[in-house]
Chains A and B, each alone.
Chain A
């Protein structure tokens, strides 16, 4: 099995304030991994660096054998690394169908875009019902579906999902998780950020706990910790 994504010693921050202090993670071809950890500890920043929206100050990101640490976001998407952002409204004044069509933008994504659109509609029938509706009139759950749908239209060779169920009702959470499960079952390599560790354990092979801008723990599904142990990782082994 070859390595699809390698992040080594990655450091980055905003305006001189460091957020990532040396992150090391990897993902093998055909694998799904999860990231979890407290808010504000660098998960979203890590994803922004991987997809090229933020430049790292040190370290490297390698995708499919080539260094993409300083590549343009558009080139990274063109290579097949696709990132669906957290709580993303996409393009507020654009219709659902138009947005999905536009998302098949890179030359690689144009081939077979119609088939992928059908797949997206099968996965999220609601997007088919709301074809003409403008993105800003969609509910939170529908926006999330559109965001993931757009990522699928990009023909991902690696799909990054940042808290795809954040702020949704339990019913919608379930619906989206089922959809993500179907995507994973199709063999699309995934990096999923979630707070729900049980969900991540069911979906992915390995988990990374990101805290204070570093990888605090790496968890293998084969040696999955129980609920109490995960709580301990979050909150510390004992009260101080």
Chain B
């Protein structure tokens, strides 16, 4: 057992890191606008394909690929906010309406990607080649880099939202739109900012994921469900809670795959979520209201 447990925990850590990056983007939009962006996964895919085109097809290198992929996702995210979310501000059923409009965006982006890039699998190169060993478990250096990068990105995001003027304005708008407007914060512009920043995270995560797995039109949509579970599990709110929940879910998933196999793991993750919500209605790390 010992020989399997540590590699499993390491792969749980990797999963957790990817979930943390995805879920922090989702949670940023949720906590600012009260909207779930179901196109978040499609934006990840968009980022991965643009990165592939610039880095591999045009041969401009992976660095340029990262920039192009993240930029494409940001443009996509801001357009979704502008065209599919903004018209419904103030609508009483805004949450439900935007579930539909962002799902629509997700489908449109995925199908467009299929048409433009075709059905053949693509692979993004790794940032670092070679292997390292964590507590005796062999892991590619690239994956180890993702494990190290995730906390750095999360810390930067925390610093931005708690210490900078524009980051604080995101939290202010999320907590009280009228009061934010009355100290001079442009609320609609802040909504765009939240979507853009969240999309940048989506693009980054998509590129990282695309260099571990194959780049397919469904690249981002598959892990999106779990990222949403992470956000709800964490208690729909603070960045710290979302990140904590991401690692818990990542570990849980890795261990369940080891114990139960791939087939039953998604069902059991959902059951765990339901149990948690029965006993802790505000999520694992949520504050009782």
> A residues bordering B, Cβ < 8 Å?
51-53, 72-74, 77-78, 82-85, 88-94, 98, 101-103, 105-106, 109, 150-151, 153-154
Query: Residue on A with the closest CB to B287?
Result: A93
Tell me which residues across on chain B come within 8 A of A78, comparing CB atoms.
Answer: 184
Q: How far is the CB of A103 from chain B (nearest CB, A)?
A: 4
Q: Closest Cβ of chain B: how far from A145's Cβ, in Å?
A: 15
Check B185–A82 contact: CB distance below 8 A: no
Instruction: Find chain A residues with CB under 8 A from B169 CB.
Output: 102, 105
User: Do residues B178 and A85 form an inter-chain contact, with CB atoms below 8 A?
Assistant: yes
Chain A CB within 8 A of B131 CB = no
B176, CB-defined interface residue at 8 Å? yes
CB <8 Å contact, B172 and A94: yes
Residues of B in contact with A, size category: 10 to 19
B239, chain A: closest CB distance, angstroms: 12
Q: Which residue of B lies closest to A136 (CB)?
A: B175
Chain B contacts of A73 at CB under 8 A?
Answer: 181-182, 184, 187
**Known interface pairs A93-B171, A98-B168, A102-B172. Does A88 touch B187 (Cβ–Cβ under 8 Å)?**
no
CB of A77 within 8 A of CB of B175, answer no
Query: Chain B residues with Cβ under 8 A from A74's Cβ?
Result: 181, 184-187
By a CB distance below 8 angstroms, the chain A residues around B178 are 53, 85
* B183 interface hit (Cβ, 8 Å): yes
Q: Are B176 and A89 in contact (CB under 8 A)?
A: yes
A150 contact from B165, B175, B183, Cβ within 8 A: B183
Write the nearest CB–CB distance from B174 to chain A, whole angstroms.
Answer: 9
Which positions 130-167 of chain B face chain A at CB distance < 8 Å?
A: 162, 165
Q: How far is the CA of A101 from the CA of B163 in the complex (A)?
A: 11
- Evaluate whether A83 and B176 lie within 8 angstroms (CB atoms) in the complex, with A93-B171, A105-B169 already known: no
Min CB distance B204 to A, Å, is: 27
Min CB–CB distance A68 → chain B (angstroms):
14
- B179 contacts chain A at the CB level, 8 A cutoff: yes
A154 and B183: CB pair below 8 A? yes
**Top 7 A-B pairs, shortest CB-CB distance:** A77-B184, A73-B181, A106-B184, A74-B186, A91-B175, A103-B183, A105-B184
Q: When chains A and B are docked, how far (Å) is the Cα of A89 from the Cα of B172?
A: 12
Cβ of A85 and Cβ of B179 under 8 Å apart? Answer: yes
Once A102-B165, A105-B169 are accepted as A-B contacts, the answer to whether A77 and B183 lie under 8 Å apart by CB is yes
Report the Cα distance A77→B162, complex, angstroms.
23
B275 to chain A, nearest CB (A): 27
Which residues of the partner chain B approach A151 to less than 8 Å between Cβ atoms?
182
Chain B, Cβ-Cβ closest to A102: B168
Which residues of chain A are near B184, meaning CB under 8 Å? 73-74, 77-78, 105-106, 109, 154
A66 to B187, CA, bound (A): 22
Closest CB-CB distance, A109 to chain B, in whole Å? 7
Q: For residue A98, which residues in chain B have a CB less than 8 angstroms away from its CB?
A: 162, 168
Instruction: Return chain A residues, CB-CB under 8 Å to B171.
Output: 91, 93-94
With A74-B186, A101-B168 given, can you name 10 additional A-B contacts, CB distance below 8 Å?
A51-B182, A72-B181, A73-B184, A77-B183, A83-B182, A92-B175, A93-B175, A94-B172, A105-B185, A151-B182
User: Chain A contacts of B183 at CB under 8 A?
Assistant: 77, 102-103, 105-106, 150, 153-154
Measured between C-beta atoms, what is the minimum distance from A55 to chain B in Å? 12
Residues 171-224 (chain B) with a chain A CB within 8 angstroms: 171-172, 175-176, 178-187
In the complex, which residues of chain A have a beta carbon less than 8 angstroms from the beta carbon of B187?
Answer: 73-74
**Contacts A94-B171, A102-B168 known; A77 to B182 CB distance under 8 Å?**
yes
Given A72-B186, A102-B165, A91 and B172 touching (CB < 8 A)? yes
A61 to chain B, nearest CB (A): 15
For A84, the chain B residues whose CB sits under 8 A away are 182
Chain B positions within 8 Å of A89 at CB level: 176, 179
Could you give 6 example pairs across A and B, Cβ below 8 Å?
A: A52-B181, A73-B187, A77-B183, A85-B178, A85-B179, A89-B179
- Bound-complex Cα distance A156 to B225 (A): 47
**B238's closest neighbor in chain A, by CB?**
A93
Give the CA-CA distance A159 to B148 in the complex, in Å: 50
The chain B residue with its CB closest to the CB of A108 is B184
Distance in Å: Cβ of A219 to nearest Cβ of chain B: 28
Q: How far is the CA of A78 from the CA of B184 in the complex (A)?
A: 6
Bound: A109/B175 CA distance, A: 22
- Give B253 Cβ to nearest chain A Cβ, in Å: 30
Task: List the A residue with the shortest CB-CB distance to B173.
Answer: A91
